[in-house]
Amino acid sequence: MKKKLLSVLLVAAMAVSTFVACGSSASSDSTSATTTEGAAETEAASDFRIAMITDSGDITDQSFNQTTYEAIQAFSAETGADFQYYKPADNTDDDRVAAFENAVADGYNVVVCPGYLFAAMIAEVADTYPDVTIIALDCGEGDFADAGMTEIPSNVCAFTYQEELAGYMAGYAVVKEGYTKLGFLGGIAVPAVIRYGYGFVAGADKAAEELGNSSEVEVNYVYGGQFQGDEAITATMDSWYSNGTEIVFACGGGIYTSACEAAVKADGHVVGVDVDQSGVIHDQYDVEGLCVTSAMKGLAATVEATLTDVVDGNWDAHSGKIENLGLVSGTDPSLNYVQLPTDTWTMENFTVDDYNTLVSQMYDGTITVDVSIDAMPTTTIKVTEFDNIH
């Protein structure tokens, strides 16, 4: 994948805008534009018609769906490839299969699927439609195994991310910034969310060790059992903040709303996830500095670089593979597939230079992060685990 492309697109991925959701079939805003790169590239791109299928959310979710949608839309505008997105009628495997088949029937031959929920759909359709290229984001070996797929077909590629590294960066950063009463609010306890959470705890522990204040740093830890906020989850967050929690890493789709609602009432703070959520959180709650930072992964960079390889005839680089993406540079964090956002940096005690040093140490192996999700990391700080809210 091309480093220049990754650098540009990973930055672009963090801009958030709002779009009108489509119906249960295809969207009405198919994109087709003439590329500025010349007729040859336009001709190559015209051979590929790209569809995206949304998961349980939609393209205004400020997370996986919206980031993926915007990335493909930008690629389409740049290359001239036709693009349309499809929203399943309901959150079921059958409806995802139906959306996929609708896209194929409409002539789309590249399908992008954001999220682990697509594993069962891919297991059902991949062999039936061998001429359709399927790109799966955040869908790992365990997800496919659960769906009965033991081997990835040649028309499929999948990407997972080293969320433990992004979580570690966020936990390390907020403790270095001066926060000592932390919280982790996960959505559903799937591997990606667990890796974020355990990484966050490990990073906080390391920073506390370096600061010599391990006895002061505490983490409340819970899963909501869903990817949306609600009254019960907000009530739990109210309790945390009223009892001294200063900042909560809200990790899992729309569950951040419960953390934000409670934080606003208590003059607290949150950490965003997957993309730089500072802008949308500010716009939604009109509170300066509510979102201190975000643990991000390069969804847009993955989409854009992979689609470029498809158009350029480099599909063999991905065919039948599950690629686990993390750090690719110790000197330029913007190239990495897991990172903190520096364009909207507001932290003062933990600076961008400090962050660059941290990334360099993680890249060269000076700092290592356990990838295990079998048990909570052993720490010198206090971690209190709560039962799932739902």
Domain ranges of the chain: 3-161+299-325, 164-296+337-385
What is the value of pTM for the model shown? 0.85
> In whole angstroms, what is the distance from residue 183 CA to residue 201 CA?
9
pLDDT band per the 50, 70, 90 thresholds, residue 64: confident
If you count them, how many residues does the chain have?
390
Supply the mean pLDDT for the chain.
90
Domain 3-161+299-325 indexed as CATH 3.30.360.10: no
Asked whether the domain spanning 164-296+337-385 has the same topology as the one spanning 3-161+299-325, the reply is yes
Asked whether residue 26 carries a pLDDT value surpassing 70, the answer given is no
| Tens digit of each residue's pLDDT (9 = 90 or more) over 152-195 | 999 999 999 999 999 999 999 999 999 999 999 999 999 999 99
pLDDT band per the 50, 70, 90 thresholds, residue 42: low
Mean pLDDT of 360-386: 97
Please tell me whether residue 69 adopts helix, strand or coil conformation: helix
Read off the amino acid at residue 283.
D
**The tokens of 109 are what?**
């031959």
| Tens digit of each residue's pLDDT (9 = 90 or more) over 98-152 | 999 999 999 999 999 999 999 999 999 999 999 999 999 999 999 999 999 999 9
pLDDT value for 8: 39
Mean pLDDT of 77-106: 97
Please give the distance of CA 107 from its chain centroid, rounded to a whole number: 29
Torsion of CA 32, 35, 41, 47, to 10 degrees: 0
Q: Give buried/exposed letters for 98-131 (b at 16+ CB in 10 A, else e).
A: bbbebbbeeebbbbbbbbbbbbbbbbbbbeebee
pLDDT value for 252: 87
| Tens digit of each residue's pLDDT (9 = 90 or more) over 238-291 | 999 999 999 999 998 889 999 999 999 999 999 999 999 999 999 999 999 999
Mean pLDDT of 210-214: 98
List CB contacts of 318: < 8 A, sequence separation 6 or more. 135, 157, 306, 309
Residue with tokens 């790209």: 50
Percent of the chain with pLDDT over 70: 89
Percent of the chain with pLDDT over 90: 82
User: What strands lie across the sheet with 247-251, from one edge to the other?
Assistant: 338-339, 291-297, 269-274, 247-251, 181-186, 218-223, 382-385
> In whole angstroms, what is the distance from residue 291 CA to residue 240 CA?
17
End-to-end CA distance of the chain: 41
Q: What CATH architecture does domain 164-296+337-385 belong to? A: 3-Layer(aba) Sandwich (3.40)
pLDDT value for 60: 82
According to DSSP, residue 116 is labeled G
> In whole angstroms, what is the distance from residue 346 CA to residue 162 CA?
25
Asked whether residue 2 carries a pLDDT value surpassing 70, the answer given is no
> In whole angstroms, what is the distance from residue 102 CA to residue 106 CA?
6
pLDDT value for 31: 42
| Tens digit of each residue's pLDDT (9 = 90 or more) over 311-369 | 999 999 999 999 999 999 999 999 999 999 999 999 999 999 999 999 999 999 999 99
pLDDT value for 1: 45
pLDDT value for 56: 81
pLDDT value for 57: 78
Mean pLDDT of 59-75: 89
Query: 309: burial class by Cβ within 10 Å (0-12, 13-18, 19+)?
Result: middle
In Å, the largest CA–CA distance within the chain is: 64
- Comparing 358 with 24, the larger pLDDT belongs to 358
